[in-house]
Structure 1
Amino acid sequence: MPQLALKIDVDTYRGTLIGVPRLVETLRRFGAQATFLFSLGPDHTGRAIKRIFRPGFMKKVSRTSVVSHYGFRTLMYGTLLPGPDIGRRCAAILRGVRDSGYEVGIHCWDHVAWQDQVSKADMAWTEAEMKKAVDRFRQVFGDEPRTHGAAGWQMNPHALRLTQRLGLSHASDCRGTRPFIPVWNGEVVQCPQLPTTLPTLDELIGADGVNESNVHERLLELTREPTANGHVFTLHAELEGMKLMPVFDRLLAGWKAQGYELVSLNAVRNSLDPAKLPRHEVRLGEIPGRSGTLLLQGPEFLAPWANAA
């Protein structure tokens, strides 16, 4: 049975408080597994306003209603309102997800700070941000994190190295086509990447005649023929856990009808032998429907010294 992993990014306090419990109930109803990746520090969503100067950002905003998905109050956090500490205020919800049998992992400490700064950050800043997230994960769950999925698919070489140094079992920090071992400028990082392989709802809605009523059809077209490596679909507690939940229901029903086993990232990782995974360069690049650059899986890395490492 082909596998389709569900990766749930939880960006905000509102998404954690409202969207996460709703998603857990929906997943239970369909008998589906998933991986929840949590933002564990302050919600500073309002500070994202500076992205209006990023090429393509306003075009994306015009296609998707930011206020209707995130709520006016959330858009004030970190500016006119103090940002609530998600990990502290929602610890019981986070533990409840784990106790319900779902894989939990780290998305970030401060979502806006990571997404906007990490691509140009130095080792000290990167390590400090990840340390805060790891420490909070330990406080909430009483355990070590095993997986990481970068906010906005934004990474740098220091962050990639830390996925190995922290002893993570797997990560999902980029967009791509199949599981692989990442290579950054010739440096092999021994932490398997399980990239997001499908476009997200907010990348599709509003383009080429796609809307909330038919976006599931576009995604189901992409998964009609199973691939040897399966798929990873990234959804958001703020979207599929709220206004777009009917779309998520239709997707889950469609994927079940197509014969997919809906699994966590951990299930995909457990089906792999890291020693046999291909090595691929990672690079920054653009994808349709999303503003700015993000981490992408590049060509396979075949240098003999890398294979011997």
Structure 2
Amino acid sequence: MPSLTLKVDVDTLRGTLEGVPRLVELFRQHRTDATFLFSLGPDHTGWAIRRVFQRGFLGKVKRTSVVEHYGVRTLLYGVLLPGPDIGRRAGEVMRSVHAAGFETGIHCWDHVLWQDRVAVADREWTAREWGKAVARYAEIFGEAATVHGAAGWQMNDHALRLADDDGFTCCSDARGTHPFQPVVAGATLRCPQWPTTLPTLDELIGVDGVTPDNVADRLLELTRVAPPTGHVFTLHAELEGMKFLPILDRLLTGWRDQGYRLGALRAAVAERAFDTLPRHALRYGAVPGRSGTLLVQGVAVD
């Protein structure tokens, strides 16, 4: 039975407080595990306005109704309103997810700051931001994190090595087609990458006639034939956890009908021995429907 891994990126305070509990309830109804990756520090969503000059950013904002999904208050954090500390304000919600039996991990410390700077950041800056997230996770959950999924699929070599040095069991930092051993500067890291293989809802809606009403059909068509290594689908607490919850409900039913075994990253990782994974380099590249460049699975390394 092919696997379809559910990875939840939680970007904002609102997404944590409102979207996460709704997703937990829906996953319980469908009797499925999922991986929740939390933003643990300040919510500076309003800083994202600096991306206005990125090619494709305004088009994406228009297509996916950012104000409607994130709310005006969230979009003012860091601009006209101070950015609230998500970990301090919503730590209890995060712990409740873990207590309910779901896998939890790190998304980032400061989502916008990491997404906008890490690709060109030096080791000192990267280690500082990484360290704050690792420390806050341990403070909230009382144990070390073992799973990481990069904010905006943005990483650098320093961050990839930090995950390896800290003993993470799995990362989902890139976009790609199948799980792999990452190769950085010629060295094979021990922490495997389970890349996102499917487009996200916000990448599909508004393109080629796709609407909220038919986006589930489009995704289910993409998963009709299962690849041998399964799929990883990234959803967002601010989207599927709120207005798009009915779409996710339909997708979960549809994927089960297609014969997929739904679950968290930990289940997919447990099925594959590390030394059986192919080795791949990493690079930055474009992804249809998303502005800027992202970390993507590169060429196979012999």
TM-score normalised by L of structure 2: 0.99
Counterpart mapping for 1:286-301 below 5 A: 286-301=286-301
Instruction: Say whether the 8 Å CA contact 1:169–1:192 is kept in structure 2.
Output: yes
Match of 1:281 in 2: 281
Q: Is the 8 A contact 1:44 1:111 kept in 2?
A: yes
Partner of 1:242: 242
CA–CA separation in structure 2 for the residues paired with 1:246 and 1:103? 23
Which residue is equivalent to 2:124?
Answer: 124
Q: Which amino acid aligns with 1:284?
A: Y
Secondary structure at 1:93's aligned position in 2? helix
Give 3-state SS (helix, strand or coil) of 1:81's partner: coil
Distance apart, 1:189 and its partner CA: 1.9
- Correspondence 1:111 to 2:111: yes
Task: Name the aligned partner's letter for residue 202 of structure 1.
Answer: D
Q: Distance in 2 between matches of 1:273 and 1:187?
A: 19
Q: What does residue 208 of structure 2 align with?
A: 208
Amino acid at match of 2:184: W
Aligned ranges for residues 70-89 of structure 1 at < 5 Å? 70-89=70-89
Q: Deviations over 1:12-67 (max 9, x none)?
A: 00000000000000000011110000000000000110000111111111211000
Distance, in Å, in 2 between the alignment partners of 1:93 and 1:126 is 27
Q: Which residue of 2 aligns with 1:13?
A: 13
What code does the residue aligned with 2:59 have? K
Partners of 1:290 and 1:39 lie apart in 2 by 20
Match of 1:54 in 2: 54
Distance in 1, matches of 2:56 and 2:210, equals 18
Whole-Å Cα distance in 2 between the matches of residues 151 and 87 of structure 1?
A: 16
Aligned-residue identity in percent: 62
Query: Paired residues, what number?
Result: 302
- Rounded Cα–Cα distance in structure 2 between residues aligned with 1:276 and 1:229: 12
CA–CA distance in 1 between the matches of 2:180 and 2:202?
A: 26
1:147-296 → structure 2 map (5 Å cutoff): 147-296=147-296
Corresponding letter in the other structure for 1:291: S
**Cα RMSD, aligned residues only:** 0.7
Tell me the secondary structure at the aligned position of residue 8 of structure 1: strand
Q: Deviations over 1:232-264 (max 9, x none)?
A: 000000000001111111101101111111110
Q: Which runs of 5+ in 2 are unaligned?
A: none
TM-score normalised over the length of structure 1: 0.97
Quote the offset at 1:188 in angstroms.
2.1
Deviation, structure 1 residue 276: 1.4
Moved more, 207-216 or 252-261: 252-261
Deviation of residue 187 (structure 1)? 2.9
Give, in angstroms, the shift of residue 92 of structure 1.
0.7
Distance 2:301 2:37 in 1: 29
Moved over 6 A (4+): none
CA contact (8 A) 1:184 1:283 kept: no
Please give the per-residue CA displacement for 1:78-101, whole angstroms capped at 9, x wherever unaligned. Answer: 110011111111111000000101
1:183-230 C-alpha deviation (Å, 9 max, x unpaired): 134232221000000000000000000000000001000111111100
8 Å contact kept, 1:177–1:195: yes
Q: Distance in 2 between matches of 1:57 and 1:166?
A: 34
